[in-house]
């Protein structure tokens, strides 16, 4: 097999050097070389990294970086540095933002991706791109607002990436791959605040033990 992060031959899902990476470098490395157009599948793969946290700030650059990479992989024109810009911007949104600031960072990270792709500024010539970014952020917020129970970063990530795959295809001139069938979270057993059967992404067959694993999408 090859390492998920660096794509070099490896006997493990993540080779030994890549298994030691912090989340930001892991996301940057993966986004540089991935050819996937499925943001949800990409997120499932990276969240299975042994050092990727169950919750928190890492999920913000994950969403932003993966969406820019998926757009590029689907044939979209991406300026040099757009992926790094998206990752850096989204990584400035702290963990717990959803609880204290009235807005979920996973949704904002979608808007960051659109802004980084378009090179959006505050000027009039970028009004359309800003509107597009804000629309995606707003739709993501509304979907997340329908959730209840404990906050869950995996749930927010799956929610906005499924949305974004359709939104990019409908509005941005590329075709991203939507999830095939129902998304099943592979991380519920690791999450002390998992909402279990109340979550739409909870596996149909509950996992027996708390070990990281890769989810195979339909």
Tell me whether residue 3 or residue 133 sits nearer to Zn ion (CB atom): 3
Q: Is 6 in the site for Zn ion (CB under 5 A)?
A: yes
Site size for Zn ion (CB under 5 A): 5
Q: How far is the CB of 153 from Zn ion (least distance, A)?
A: 24
The answer to the question of residue 29 lying near Zn ion (CB under 5 A) is: no
SS (H, E, C) the chain: CECCCCCCECCCCCCHHHHCCCHHHHHHHHHHHCCCCCHHHHHHHHHCCCCCCCCCCCHHHHHHHHHHHHHHHCCCCCCCCHHHHHHHHHCCCCCCHHHHCCCCHHHHHHHHHHHHHHCCCCCHHHHHHHHHHHHHHHHHHHHHHCCCCCCCHHHHHHHHHHHHHHHHHHHCCCCCCCCCCCCCCCCHHHCCCCCHHHCCCCCCCCCCCCCCCCCCCC
Can you tell me which of 13, 15, 63, 108 binds Zn ion, judged by CB under 5 A? 15
In the complex, the smallest distance separating the C-beta of residue 12 from Zn ion, rounded to whole angstroms, is: 9
Q: Residues 1, 2, 3, 41: which binds Zn ion (CB under 5 A)? A: 3
Indicate whether 5 belongs to the interface with Zn ion (CB under 5 A): yes
State the nearest-atom distance from the C-beta of 136 to Zn ion, in Å: 31
Question: Is 18 an interacting residue with respect to Zn ion (CB under 5 A)?
Answer: yes
Q: How far is the CB of 101 from Zn ion (least distance, A)?
A: 35
Would you tell me which residues interact with Zn ion (CB under 5 A)?
A: 3, 5-6, 15, 18
């Amino acid at each position: 097999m090859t390492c998920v992060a660096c794509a070099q031959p490896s006997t493990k899902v993540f080779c030994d050097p890549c298994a030691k990476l912090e989340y930001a470098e892991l996301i940057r490395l993966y986004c540089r070389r991935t050819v996937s157009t499925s943001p949800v599948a990409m997120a499932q793969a990276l969240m299975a990294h042994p050092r990727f946290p169950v919750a928190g700030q890492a999920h913000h650059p994950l969403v932003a970086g993966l969406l820019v990479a998926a757009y590029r992989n689907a044939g979209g024109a991406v300026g040099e540095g757009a992926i790094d810009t998206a990752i850096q911007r989204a990584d400035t949104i702290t963990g717990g933002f959803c609880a204290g600031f009235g807005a979920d960072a996973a949704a904002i990270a979608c808007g960051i991706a659109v802004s980084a792709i378009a090179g959006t500024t505050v000027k009039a010539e970028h009004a359309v791109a800003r509107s597009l970014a804000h629309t995606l952020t707003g739709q993501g917020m509304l979907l997340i607002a329908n959730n209840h129970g404990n906050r869950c970063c995996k749930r927010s990530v799956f929610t906005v990436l499924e949305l974004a795959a359709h939104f990019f295809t409908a509005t941005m001139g590329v075709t991203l791959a939507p999830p095939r069938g129902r998304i099943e979270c592979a991380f519920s057993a690791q999450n002390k605040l998992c909402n279990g059967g109340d979550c739409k992404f909870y596996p149909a067959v509950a996992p027996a033990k708390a070990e990281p694993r890769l989810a195979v999408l339909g």
